[in-house]
């Protein structure tokens, strides 16, 4: 029914269709029509409803189509292969499996929906259907294992610069890898790596961006903590365009990193972060650390001067500003 209802609107894109007309054409009740319109709205479709005229389809979300993504994508290696799924448990799991099967560096896995999206520090990552960008990128750089977290910061810089340039949104990076707008999280990054004898075999860089989620897509526990680009920009956004621009920026910075090392990335990160030179509390696996973050080091660790003057290096944690 969803599909036939959509086809009615798509066949006559400018027209208003009344509930009565639709129910006659689809041979169902008007209540069923209303319910289906509500369902489609939840999936990101937008209808204008005018009394005595009916409904008009004003926006339909683009599906993540590999041809559309590859069209005009200006990258050499990142996105050399796309794997796009309707539903997966986690794009990270799919990417790890593809590596085991020998996929090339730059393979990008995307899903419309994740049923077990995962975040850092054992948290779940909300990934509703069609509403965001749930993506994993396979990387195989020849770097020592201990430098892997540099790639987390590189990913955050690429995404932050993309969203600023493409949407004009004032995004900042919260160490190590959250992207915030006005203190609310719009994106998170999860790097998972495999290596042996200090040598990195491969990395899966997982990127979650809450693009077109609306306020009621977020559970209560994320009130005052998370938002979406759509809420911030006040309009639905084209995921495909964001993915293309991000992959281009990512490749540019990744190649720079492979040629010149971490130093230029660190400079960019420091210019975009909201975490340095201010008092903060960090929840680590070993308890809370309070102080002022002064810098990040070559391994992406946060250097914090605690209240009693001690300097500590933090390799992972959750900052509370
Ligand atoms: C975090 O902020 O805790 C990191 C969130 C990372 C979420 C992304 S969505 C795509 C990829 N697949 C996952 O299961 N997680 C990452």
| DSSP character string of 35-87 | HHHHHHHHTT-EEEEETTTEEEEEE-PPP--HHHHHTT---SSTTSEEEEEEE
Residues 241 and 289 in one domain: no
Candidate of 135, 155, 207, 210 to mutate for ligand 1, largest count of ligand atoms within 8 Å of Cβ: 207
Residues 49 and 181 in one domain: no
pTM: 0.88
Residues 26 and 91 in one domain: no
- Residue with tokens 């933090």, as numbered in its chain: 314
Q: Confidence class of residue 317 from pLDDT cuts 50, 70 and 90?
A: confident
Q: Which two tokens stand for residue 287?
A: 């308890």
Structure confidence by residue, pLDDT tens digits, 165-222:
999 999 999 998 899 999 999 999 999 999 998 999 999 999 999 999 999 999 999 9
Residue-number span of the structural domain to which 199 is assigned: 66-271
Task: Tell me which of 11, 44, 59 is where a domain ends.
Answer: 59
Residues 287 and 246 in one domain: no
CATH code for the domain in which residue 283 is found: 2.30.30.100
Least confident of 9-18, 128-137, 225-234: 9-18
Structure confidence by residue, pLDDT tens digits, 56-67:
999 888 789 888
Residues 170 and 220 in one domain: yes
Residues 181 and 36 in one domain: no
What is the number of structural domains in the chain?
3
Q: Which two tokens stand for residue 213?
A: 């989620």
This model of the complex carries an ipTM of: 0.99
From the CA of 108, how far away is ligand 1's center (Å)? Answer: 14
Residues 288 and 201 in one domain: no
CATH code for the domain in which residue 30 is found: 1.10.10.10
Residues 8 and 74 in one domain: no
Residue nearest to atom 7 of ligand 1 (CA): 208
Residues 143 and 156 in one domain: yes
């Amino acid at each position: 029914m969803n599909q036939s209802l959509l086809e009615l609107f798509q066949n006559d894109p400018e027209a208003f269709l009344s509930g009565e007309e639709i129910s006659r054409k689809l041979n169902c009740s008007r209540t069923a029509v209303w319910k289906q319109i509500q369902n489609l709205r939840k999936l990101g479709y937008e209808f204008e409803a005018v009394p005595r005229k009916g409904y008009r389809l004003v926006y339909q979300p683009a599906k993540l189509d590999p041809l559309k993504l590859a069209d005009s994508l200006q990258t050499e290696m990142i996105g050399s292969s796309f794997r796009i799924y309707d539903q997966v448990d986690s794009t990270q799991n799919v990417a790890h499996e593809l590596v085991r099967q020998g996929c090339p560096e730059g393979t990008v896995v995307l899903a419309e929906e994740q049923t077990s999206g995962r975040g850092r520090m054992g948290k779940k990552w909300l990934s509703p259907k069609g509403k965001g960008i749930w993506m994993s990128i396979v990387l195989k750089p020849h770097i020592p294992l201990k430098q892997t977290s540099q790639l987390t910061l590189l990913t955050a810089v690429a995404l932050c610069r993309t969203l600023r340039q493409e949407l004009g949104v004032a995004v900042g990076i919260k160490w190590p890898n959250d992207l915030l707008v006005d203190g609310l999280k719009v994106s998170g990054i999860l790097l998972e790596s495999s290596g042996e004898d200090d040598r990195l075999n491969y990395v899966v860089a997982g990127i979650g961006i809450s693009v077109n989620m609306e306020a009621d897509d977020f559970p209560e526990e994320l009130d005052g903590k998370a938002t979406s680009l759509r809420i911030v920009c006040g309009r639905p956004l084209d995921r495909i365009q964001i993915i293309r621009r991000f992959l281009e920026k990512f490749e540019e910075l990744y190649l720079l990193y492979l040629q010149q090392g971490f130093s230029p990335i660190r400079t960019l990160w420091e210019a975009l972060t909201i975490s340095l030179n201010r008092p903060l509390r960090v929840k680590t696996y070993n308890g809370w650390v309070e102080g002022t973050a002064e810098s990040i080091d070559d391994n992406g660790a946060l250097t914090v001067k605690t209240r009693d003057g001690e300097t500590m290096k933090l390799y992972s944690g959750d900052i509370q500003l």
